Amino acid sequence: TVPDSEGRKRIGLHVSYERSQKNRRTAIEEHGTTCAVCSFNFDEFYGEDYADGYIQVHHLKPLSGYEGEVDPKTDLRPLCANCHAMAHRRRDAVTSIEELKALIEKAKS
């Protein structure tokens, strides 16, 4: 194999969307810190002292599709980093929680 260089600095311009820490806290209070797709729980795996309630919070529809208010109870779900990455794997669409669960089941069979 031939090594390739990495780490070059690049300046770019992109749009990012603000996220509400209040919505994150409310979503975790409502749905917990267990992944809604695979049931992974960082606290159980790494211990509460280290994981400290870590989980990513996923918007069920792309954040760009919301106009103002996001309801943490209906619009947000906890996902582990792997499932969250897979939910956003396709550029043209977000893969739903149900679709991800089906993919896991299919892969296991």
Task: Record the pTM.
Answer: 0.85
- Render the burial of 74-105: b for 16+ CB within 10 Å, e for the rest: ebbbbbbeebbebbeeeeeebbebeebeeeee
In the chain, domain spans: 21-108
Distance CA 38, CA 100 (A): 9
Q: How confident is the model at residue 71, as a pLDDT? A: 94
pLDDT of 48 above 80:
yes
pLDDT band for position 85 (50/70/90)? very high
Give 57-72 pLDDT, tens digit per residue.
999 988 877 777 899 9
